[in-house]
Amino acid sequence: MKPITLDTITQAVINHGDGGKTHPRLYEIYTSLVKHLHAFVREVNLTEPELQQGRDFLNRVSRHTQFIPDGEMQVLTDLLGISELVLLLQDTIGKATESNLEGPLYIPNAPERQIGDRIGVDVEGEALFLSGRVLDVNGQAIANALIEVWQPNSQGLYDIFDPSQPAGNFRGQFHTDRDGNYRFETVVPSGYDVPADGPCGEVLRLLGRHTWRAAHIHFKLSATGYLPLTTQVFIEGAPQLDADTTFAVRTNILKLQKHESADAKAQHQPSHTAEFDFVLKPIEAAK
Amino acid sequence: MKPITLDTITQAVINHGDGGKTHPRLYEIYTSLVKHLHAFVREVNLTEPELQQGRDFLNRVSRHTQFIPDGEMQVLTDLLGISELVLLLQDTIGKATESNLEGPLYIPNAPERQIGDRIGVDVEGEALFLSGRVLDVNGQAIANALIEVWQPNSQGLYDIFDPSQPAGNFRGQFHTDRDGNYRFETVVPSGYDVPADGPCGEVLRLLGRHTWRAAHIHFKLSATGYLPLTTQVFIEGAPQLDADTTFAVRTNILKLQKHESADAKAQHQPSHTAEFDFVLKPIEAAK
């Protein structure tokens, strides 16, 4: 009989199974998870009360009532950088636009817009005229691609959290023209604090971590023959661009060109223009 | 601006906090957990659907209704060997009896027994006369130590799961005499399968893992001036002693001496004797 000791327990757990005969991929994940979780427990010399706090924390995360079902477990993996790490690992085609977290605020069937439309009402915000093209990895235009967009207003508020905004404000869907062009008017969004009233928020406060999301616009793109893309585009120079709480700021940076209002007396806000091209992967790339 | 990449994301997550100013220990745990979880995600190249399955699994574990509240999350850490690893890390005083998992089947205020009492009814089981002493780490007897014992019967069933057993069957509490002695009669317990009707059981089946617990007797000891001890004592030669599903089989092995019944005609079962001494740590050891 081989007793369980500090030296044998990790391998004993890994060996306690059929070596992947039933489900090779699950066994691979299990083996690696056990190895790394045990290394963590050893490294910090985790105590029984701390392990119990960990169990309690996960139970509270699962049971925390959020505005979306199971939202707090998603938030947990976002805050640990795991959600973004998984996306980084999958983004292997150099030329395509990086994917990013969908987040919980996407709503299907957003208002249909025409090219050039303004997508929301915000009297205080600075206008942003955004345009660009949807392309394939060879630089060829993709006509009739569906673009869905959603963003907060200039105060960092999404329509669904702000009764003063009409439903569907700063949301929209439209199609590229035959040359792959899109163009719409919006406002420069502001960043915002992720709600932190649950167990994840409690831990963040004890870590001295803020919950700021750098200002961004969400996009979802789909076109026949191409892999759908969900991504975020960040505003250059926005606060905490270096320290977004979901670690989502990569290379999708929107460079704004500022235009002062010609009519200073009327106290018009400055407006901005920006261009951003999206590049989609062909479906074959997934095979 | 430093964009998040595969090379920077792990350190970015660790740096996203106050470096432990608010809560040094939590920050230490967080730092190590992030490092090891990211290493796991990278090693297996975890995909988005797999991450979502992981989130769903943890939510189901938390919400699975068990006979004890929060039981499934406890089961999860037991099956991953994490609960036992934490105990192994804490058992640093060489001479004291090893601690072990309490498990979910302890009930306080077990029937009070006198030295020598039999602690349960089981007509089919083979009798076990168990005796020994409770000692300090210098080998001195500890008088009046409280010993609580609980175990399944010869069929591997605990009283609370088996309507045919009277309440409190194979449970008891008694005190050592002035020389630290204890002595009681019981049956040789059988091992058993841990109930696996929840999400943890589903995963175990996909891993080809059984849920067998090698035959054992649970003990809780307490005495003034000593650290309380919760432990398990395993039956030498029992099935799956090498592969207990909670990885709890260490050095607490009970060597049985078998005694054939003198009256073979009456079909009496053989009986067994065994000795086991418990050694408690002084409270000062915890400081």
In this predicted structure, the answer to whether residue A210 has a pLDDT above a threshold of 80 is yes
User: What are the pLDDT digits (tens) for B48-65?
Assistant: 999 999 999 999 999 998
pLDDT of amino acid B266: 57
Does residue A44 sit at the B interface (CB-CB below 8 Å)? yes
Q: Alpha-carbon distance B216 to B134, whole Å?
A: 19
Instruction: Give Cβ neighbours of residue A238 (< 8 Å, ≥ 6 apart).
Output: A191, A214, A215, A216
Tell if the CB–CB gap between B51 and A82 is shorter than 8 Å: yes
Q: Name the pLDDT band for B270 (thresholds 50, 70, 90).
A: confident
Q: Residue A89 and residue B3: Cβ atoms within 8 Å?
A: no
Neighboring chain B residues of A87 at a CB cutoff of 8 Å: 48
pLDDT per position as a tens digit, A10-26: 999 999 989 999 999 99
pTM beyond 0.90: the answer is: yes
CATH topology assigned to domain B82-286: Protocatechuate 3,4-Dioxygenase, subunit A (2.60.130)
Among residues A218, A228, A222, which one has the least CA distance to residue A285? A228
Residue range A29-37: mean pLDDT, rounded: 98
Question: In this predicted complex, what is the ipTM?
Answer: 0.94
Q: What is the mean pLDDT of residues A181-192?
A: 97
Contact state of A81 with B12 under an 8 Å Cβ cutoff:
yes
- For residue B5, what is the nearest residue in chain A, using CA coordinates? A250
| CA-to-CA dists, residue B6 to A82, A92, B266, angstroms | 11, 11, 75
Task: Tell me the backbone φ, ψ of residue B126, rounded to 5 degrees.
Answer: -90, 130
- Which of the residues B5, B11, B13 would you substitute to probe the A interface, choosing the one with the greatest number of A C-beta atoms within 10 Å? B13
Contact state of A55 with B70 under an 8 Å Cβ cutoff: yes
Q: Do A45 and B89 touch (CB under 8 A)?
A: yes
pLDDT over threshold 90, residue A1: no
pLDDT tens digits for range A232-247: 999 999 999 999 999 9
CB B280 within 8 Å of CB B220: no
Rounded mean pLDDT of A70-93? 93
Cα separation, A79 vs A77, whole angstroms:
6
Q: Domain coordinates of chain A in residue numbers?
A: 1-46, 82-286
